[in-house]
Amino acid sequence: MQQNILTEIDAGVGIVTLNRPERHNAFDEAMIDELSEALLSMASDPAVRVVVISSIGKSFCAGADLGWMQRAANYDFEQNRRDAGMLAEMLRRIAECPKPVIARVQGPAYGGGVGVIAACDIAVATFEARFALTEVKLGLIPAVIGPYVVNAIGERYARRYMLTAEVFSAAEAYRLGLIHEMVADEAALDAAVGEWVEAILKNGPQALGEAKALIRAIAGQPYSAALIADTVERIARVRVSPEGQEGIAAFLEKRSPNWVA
């Protein structure tokens, strides 16, 4: 039986690969469950310092699988809520993973596939990749992926692309902030991901998780006394941590910290 998700850990890099190329890596219940479990495993594994989400085949992820949609059409409200909750939990595990998560986008991403990219910390795509939020064409809405997409591209452009369901290019995705870089082909895609991985592996593992938590805590918040107090608390805690002490000592002693291989 074919696995929907392939996983591999190599030199600190956890690679999670969508493996339904014949279905354009579209999501169904099983694939969402497997991806969610893979992310949970990577998040808790000390051997993993950074996670890369990639796909096999022509498409990165075509969104919802047709068979899954057909089954969901017969679900009642409670069944639909549980079903949507699985997708929501999977996206949350990407966004809140204590390790940086990179999206390696080699082909089209529609619907939920755009949500996965938006939930990742960093994303790179080939020039040929295409994107769309197509839910309204089916009389549906991009509800569960919505918070991540709006956070990535902003409310104004979310209004356009969620309402028109039009396909947009990698260049447009780059301009909007959905992806951080465009490259010519898959060889360049791997090179770009490799450069980011190399940069991340030079940084403190605990500091990376703390930085992600900091971003979540301060994004969109007013500049208030409570926010300032929270940031003061965070840096004080990190400074006295073993990793913080090692990082400062390494800098002053002009040597590499102990987390750098």
Catalytic residues, which ones? 135
Q: What is the CA radius of gyration of the chain?
A: 19
Beta bridge partners of 16: 7, 53
Q: Who contacts 237 (Cβ-Cβ below 8 Å, separation ≥6)?
A: none
Query: Which DSSP string corresponds to 109-154?
Result: EETHHHHHHHHSSEEEEETT-EEE--GGGGT---TTTHHHHHHHHH
Can you tell me the distance from the alpha carbon of 257 to that of 261, in angstroms, rounded to the nearest whole number?
9
CB 135 within 8 A of CB 27: no
